[in-house]
Amino acid sequence: MRISRLLLLVLLFTLCTAPALAGEDPYQPVPDFNRRQDGVAYAVPKTVTYYSSTCGMDRKCNVYLPADYDESKAYPLLLLLHGIGGDHKEWMGGVPEIIIGNLIAAGETKEMIIVTPDIKAFHKDAPPAGFYSPETFAAFDNCLNDIRDDLLPWLRENYSLAPGRENTAVAGLSMGGREALYVGLSLPETFGYVGAFAPAPGALPYAVEKGLFPTDGFKAAEGYDTFIMIVHGLTDDVVAPWPKTYSDTLTANGTEHVYYETPGAHNFTVWMNGLYNFGKNLFKD
């Protein structure tokens, strides 16, 4: 009787919990993933200046070095790109030092150097441009040249970076997500990881815009194994339907990638969720 009762209890537990377990969100972060934990040492952002030949002037970025940064070691690099209204400081609202620091402490990702640049790459002589003007969008797209020709060489010269695309990642939120797709897919020899958290339109043709890529050219470069993650907030009506459109186009063009939707709107609730899940997949041996 005891055995039968035990089996019955196990069966009831299984039946009651199976739907909940089956419906669990695999992309739901652990509790307090973005809060400081006792005993964890976190990076501290430092604003630095580098010269950009692309823009003809000095530019700023924030650099997050590992808490125990050691120049005798080589670290992978994560570039985090801001949105249309931000600059190199915007990601401070997403506490990347805490999210990545907690992942490192949990053994779920490697120590890395995080850099948040200003990707509004206007030339110093450019006239003022409107917030949503073609000139502003072109300046954002110009970040590819600044990253490739100026920022990355400067970072390699001044910090101990691990070489190779397998140690280099780019991700961004909103407009920065669009640019992460543009930079990462355009420079496959440099970036092995690409993350787009609620990416803005413009990477593909829409309305009267020709897009940064033709529809059939929006894919990972042949011969390169690139990890791509696209995230969309379920109540985000700012960039919808573009995250899903980007995902569907990658699929149609034969590029494997990760796409998921998560509760939240066009804000750091979704963007931090994206960084957490992207961070868990970075720099795998």
Q: Give the homologous superfamily in CATH for domain 32-280.
A: Alpha/Beta hydrolase fold, catalytic domain (3.40.50.1820)
Rounded Cα gap, residues 113 and 100, in angstroms: 10
Q: Residue 23: what pLDDT?
A: 60
Q: Where are the chain's structural domains?
A: 32-280
> Which amino acid is present at 93?
G
Pairing state between β 57-64 and 258-262: unpaired
Q: Residue 15: what pLDDT?
A: 34
For 189, counting Cβ atoms within 10 Å of its Cβ (0-12 exposed, 13-18 middle, 19+ buried), the class is: exposed
CB atoms within 10 A of CB 211: 15
| Secondary structure (3-state) at 246 | helix
Q: Which residues contact 55 (CB under 8 A, 6 or more apart)?
A: 121, 122, 123, 124, 142, 146, 150
- What's the average pLDDT block by block, 10 residues per block, for the chain (285 residues)? 38 36 79 97 97 98 96 98 97 98 97 98 95 94 98 98 98 98 98 98 89 97 97 97 98 98 98 98 92
Residue 238 backbone dihedrals phi, psi, to 5 degrees: -85, -45
Across the chain, the runs of DSSP E, i.e. the strands, are 45-52, 57-64, 77-81, 113-117, 168-173, 193-197, 227-233, 258-262
Tokens of 266: 């066009």
